[in-house]
């Protein structure tokens, strides 16, 4: 029996496998030691704060995309806090400055509006640049697509005196390899070479999927070292997916089986509420011991337990016929999953638990009607 099917794990439940998380963190520590770069946790991809005591043993801090994420980083992680958002209101700046060490602006107008206040607070100022170089496969996740609202293009930045700007921030990758980073750096150095000579740090954003099998970690290290030595820069990476990559599943249960042009298994989870990238990217998540349609003896469409007609996860096959009460294990559900969940339709929200390295399971959080009600007014 899979250790994710232990009797004390409820259904539905997100299960963090502590051993697998440490494996990823140890690889990141190796990258930091060999390259001299700093790696921080992108909360937009993974913000399970009950895991912060382990993560902060390895990573330098967090990056936040909002005031609330910055508070989570400052109060629960307690190391460096870097912030970037497409736009800040005055109230955002007022709340962020006591919390953050670095703050990056998305536009020249935002920088000009707030730079004096930020500098007076002793916070290091950065500007997000757009290298106009595309690597992301999915348009929804491509910050360098034509017409992007994210980052300042070289043609605009070259018109301004960057006095007071200490860093540049570039992010155009999404679950990419080190060769995508190399091509990105070529674009950045070509378009922003003069600015790189003027600043103290370069934040390379996220999308560096260094914990995926087959990723060329040594090539990544060589690129980071070259960058540091060429421009005398502090180099920062802020992955989210790579930290939590393949560190635990979403466990669920079959509630009913109906037939409409084939059998459909209804689950106690919802794609739209609990695995939104299944519909947004879209993609087909892996299920332990399941195959493609027709590959194994029994094929089913799997549907979520909400009223959305399109709340369908996909078609899978199994060695044995499914029955009500059977458990399924949706793999790799830690990154960009919990952070995007909703209480849509009032469907029971999955619990959150940790499977510790000694085999002990802790259910950290279960959700109730009161949690659902508190989201409304």
Could you tell me which residues are annotated as the binding site for substrate? 277
Q: Which residues pair with 202 in a beta bridge?
A: 168, 235
Where is the binding site, in residues? Answer: 277
Closest CA to 129 of 107, 111, 103: 107
Q: Which residues pair with 265 in a beta bridge?
A: 257, 302
Measured CA to CA, the distance from residue 344 to residue 94 in angstroms comes to 33
Measured CA to CA, the distance from residue 148 to residue 68 in angstroms comes to 25
Give helix 217-231 / helix 178-196 axis angle, nearest 10°: 10
The full 3-state SS of 74-120, as one line of letters, equals HHHHCCEEEEECCCCCHHHHHHHCCCCCEEEECCHHHHHHHHHHHHH
Measured CA to CA, the distance from residue 316 to residue 329 in angstroms comes to 12
Answer whether the bond into residue 282 is a cis peptide, omega within 30°.
yes
Distance, first Cα to last Cα, the chain: 44
Q: Which two tokens stand for residue 77?
A: 């992680």
Contacts with 256 (C-beta within 8 Å, 6 or more apart), sequence order: 265, 266, 324
């Amino acid at each position: 029996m899979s250790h994710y099917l232990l009797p004390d794990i409820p259904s539905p439940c997100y299960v963090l496998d502590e051993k697998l998380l440490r494996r990823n963190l140890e690889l990141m520590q190796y990258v930091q030691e060999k390259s001299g770069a700093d790696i921080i946790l992108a909360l937009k991809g993974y913000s399970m704060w009950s895991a912060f005591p382990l993560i902060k043993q390895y990573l330098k801090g967090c990056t936040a995309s909002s005031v609330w994420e910055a508070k989570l980083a400052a109060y629960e992680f307690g190391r460096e806090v870097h912030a970037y958002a497409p736009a800040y209101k005055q109230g955002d700046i007022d709340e962020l400055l006591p919390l953050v060490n670095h703050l990056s602006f998305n536009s020249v107008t935002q920088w000009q509006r707030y730079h004096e206040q930020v500098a007076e607070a002793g916070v290091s100022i950065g500007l997000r640049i757009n290298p106009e170089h595309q690597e992301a496969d999915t348009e929804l996740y491509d910050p360098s697509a034509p017409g992007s609202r994210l980052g300042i293009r070289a043609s605009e930045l070259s018109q301004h005196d960057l006095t007071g700007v200490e860093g540049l921030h570039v992010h155009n990758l999404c679950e990419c390899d080190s060769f995508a980073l190399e091509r990105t750096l070529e674009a950045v150095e070509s378009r922003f070479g003069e600015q790189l000579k003027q600043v103290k740090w370069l934040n390379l954003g996220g999308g560096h999927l260094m914990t995926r099998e087959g990723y060329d970690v040594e090539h990544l290290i060589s690129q980071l070292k070259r960058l540091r030595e060429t421009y005398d820069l502090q180099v920062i990476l802020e992955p989210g997916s790579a930290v939590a990559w393949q560190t635990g599943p979403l466990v669920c249960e079959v509630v009913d089986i109906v037939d409409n042009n084939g059998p459909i298994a209804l689950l106690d989870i919802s794609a739209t509420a609990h695995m939104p990238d299944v519909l947004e990217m879209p993609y087909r998540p892996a299920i332990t011991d399941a195959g493609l349609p027709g590959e194994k003896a029994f094929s089913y469409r799997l549907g979520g337990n909400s009223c959305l007609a399109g709340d369908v996860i996909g078609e899978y096959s199994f060695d044995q016929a499914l029955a009500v009460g059977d458990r399924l294990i949706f793999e790799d559900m830690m990154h960009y999953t919990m952070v995007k969940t909703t209480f849509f339709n009032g469907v029971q929200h999955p619990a959150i638990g940790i499977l510790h390295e000694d085999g002990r399971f802790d259910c950290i959080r279960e959700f109730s009607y009161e949690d659902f009600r508190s989201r409304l007014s």
